[in-house]
Amino acid sequence: MKLVILEPLGVEKEKLLAMAEKAAAGRIEIVSYDTRAEDVPTLIERSRDADAVVLSNLPYPREVIERCPALKLILVAFTGVDHVAMDACRERGVTVCNCAGYSTVAVADLVFGLLIALCRSILPCDRAVREGGTKAGLIGTELEGKKFGIVGAGAIGLRVARIAEAFGCEVVAYSRTQKPETGLRYVGLDELLSGCDVVSLHVPLNDGTRGLIGARELGLMKKTAFLINTARGPVVDSAALAKALSDGVIAGAGIDVFETEPPIPRDHPLFSAPNLVATPHVAFATKEALEKRAVIVFENLAAWLDGAPENVVR
């Protein structure tokens, strides 16, 4: 059998291969690529005779899967799997395992990095001080006493809720799956949007969440509210958000994710909107998180080789 690591995973190659070899225990040949390639012909060439492949958020479409007759396992070094043709995997009996949980701490940290940048106008403050300016027009706002809305109360959402509470916020949540044992107060989405000073998105991308936050939903929010999206780009209608920011419908937004992976086109509508802090899909990307996900990837490999796969995505 053959395992192909299709792209670098942010861990030193020697360390990564040592982890892979320990998990494989001589049961599978390992091939690793040092470059990331997204074009279909290269992905087919690299994957063609693989029994198992490792990828992060690399798009892995049906046309690749159908050209890999030996493929039995896709190890996704990521939480979401919307970039993998899951329908093709189900049709062909390919097992898909993800790395849920590796980036919980990292993503929650960035939520508050983006939020504090907005609350305290950190980017305008930086520009002002470099240009000989003062705090004029840059008086910020505190988090204590604010109402904080969590949309999607999974592991990341719950960690964000705990941190928000530590800042002195009142936290409410909207979630498809409610967990009373967490102590969170659950409300409807419209109630959350209309009542909260901060709305932080933590839902996966699927048919039910695509476009979840559009013009109507933004119109429900307070004019003083901030929207944070570290989930998936298409959960928010970017054009509607850009208009809402430009028209003063909401006070600001922190965005880590877009409709496509970076580089994002310079003419993206959000880049001309005021009070936006943007990052290039880095919420998950810390040294600690990347090592955690590599550990989970190869634990998933070992479990599959042992005939008891873990973290299987249905």
Structure token pair of residue 83:
């970039």
7, 232, 291, 293: which one is catalytic? 232
- Catalytic residue flag (residue 217): no
What is the C-alpha separation between 133 and 121, in angstroms, rounded?
A: 14
112 contacts 134 by C-beta, under 8 angstroms:
no
Q: For residue 263, count other CB atoms closer than 10 A to its CB.
A: 7
What tokens were used for 144? 């204590």
Distance CA 218, CA 118 (A): 17
Q: Is the CB of residue 193 less than 8 Å from the CB of residue 217?
A: yes
**202, 281, 291, 293: which one is catalytic?**
281
202 included as an active-site residue: no
Reported as type and span, the H/E element at residue 29 is: strand 29-32
Terminal Cα-to-Cα distance of the chain (whole angstroms) = 24
Q: Is 232 annotated as catalytic? A: yes
E-assigned strand segments in the chain: 2-5, 29-32, 52-55, 73-76, 95-97, 147-151, 170-174, 185-186, 198-201, 226-229, 252-255, 276-278
Catalytic entry in 66, 165, 261, 299? 261
Q: Which residues are catalytic?
A: 232, 261, 281
